[in-house]
Amino acid sequence: MRQSFHFPKHTSRMEELTYCPGKSAWPELVGRSGNVAAGIVERENHNVKARVLLEGSPTTRDFRCDRVWVWVDRNGKVTQVPRIG
């Protein structure tokens, strides 16, 4: 079961990450297929939902422990380290 965590605006990113259960970053996925990367993220941390997004797509700016953005280029390859947020 996924849990939802929301933090007040004054909380720092490091403080937020200390409350997020499970793995929080996947540097090994840079360069991989975005869809494959999203599947790996969700298998390695059952508390998150990974969303594949094209670079430059608009997103919300709130921090969530149950969300990972997987940023991809036009070829569908991961361009940034997927992280909880």
pLDDT tens per residue, range 2-40: 454 444 444 555 455 568 989 999 999 999 999 999 999
Domain ranges, ordered by start, for the chain: 13-84
Please state, in angstroms and rounded to a whole number, the distance separating the CA atoms of residues 83 and 69.
Answer: 7
Q: What is the pLDDT of residue 10?
A: 47
CB atoms within 10 A of CB 38: 23
pLDDT, tens only, 40-59: 999 999 999 999 999 999 99
CATH classification number, 13-84, choose in 3.30.10.10, 3.40.1160.10, 3.30.365.10, 3.40.50.720: 3.30.10.10
Residues β-bridged to residue 73 = none
